[in-house]
Every structure is written in C-alpha cells, then in structure tokens.
A = this chain, B = another copy of it.
C-alpha cells in the first residue's frame, strides 16, 4: 500500500542517517561533524536530514535515545530470570557485547556523558538514569539476597560499574582490539567481585 511504502521509505532514511551520524560523531564529536558529512555518508541530500529531523541537535538527541534504548533493552533481556550473582555477570557480558557491536555509539557516550552545559545534557542524564536503573535493580536484588554486602551504596556502585565497563571496553577496542572479549570480561568481573566485597 502507498502509506506503508512511504512509511518504510522514511524509516529507512532515518536509519541510514542514524548510522552515518553515530560514526561521524564518535570520530569527531558533535560540533565538528557537519550536516553535510552526515548527509553524504548516508547517501541522501542535505535537505533530507531536515525533512526527517528538526535540527542537527534533534537528530543527535534521538540518536542518544535510540542507542541507550537498545542498551537498556539488552540489559533487561540479559538479566531476565537470573539469580543476582549471575545477573551481574550477565550485565557485564551484555555491556561488552553491546559496545563491541556499537563501538561508535559507545565512544560517543564516553565523550558526552561527563560533560556539562551541553544542550542535550538533560536528555542524556535521564537516559543514563534509565540504563543505570537496570543495573541498580540487579545490584539491589544482590544486596537483598545477601550475595552482595548490605552496606553497598547501590547508586554509586551501579554508576561506577557502568562507567568502568564503558572505559574499559572502549579502551580495549581502541588500543588493544586483538584482546579476546573473554579476557576483558574476566578483568571486569574481577573488579566487580572485589568492589562488591569491600566498599
């Protein structure tokens, strides 16, 4: 049908724009990436970017929403039905796999997450809450079940877990991509176990 055809065409275009934008912004940052670059890499005319998004900033915010949405979904799927101890390991694995798959998006997050005073800061903080929320639920379950120490600050620990996972994974992919994922996973697990028992 006409409507479907049009809808699909438009959705395709948006997807292409997302992909082009993620890569470029990961490499160069938001401001250094031009709308021309994005359109060129997506293979559409510049005007098409504006037909599909209100502005460059809008495109970026939707991108953040989309990317963190996927990560949050992965997190939820990973912990589903697992006992606390295994759930934490599953989250780490899930995060690593996500970052390996969407490396550009992860780089971009790493660059923007601890900035302040950017237009999309509010959006980003909210999205961060969302992703860290899933980790926090898992950690809390661990605390409740006695698998993790009762005095653990759930918020702080979840935030740190997220951040450490992000740097370690990105550092891996950027500087020593030949290391196997399992190796990195092992290091991260060691960190978590340790943190769990001391803080």
Q: Which residues of A contact B (CB under 8 A)?
A: 26-32, 107, 110-112, 114-118, 155-156, 159-160, 163-164, 166-168, 170-171, 174-176, 179, 183, 186-187, 190-191, 193-195, 197-199
Contacts and interface: CB of A to CB of B under 8 A. Distances in A.
Given A32-B118, A156-B179, 9 more contacts: A26-B116, A27-B118, A29-B29, A29-B118, A107-B114, A114-B170, A116-B174, A159-B176, A163-B168
Contact of A159 (B32, B112, B171): B171
Contacts of A168: 160, 163-164
A156 B174 contact: no
Contacts of A194: 190-191, 193-195
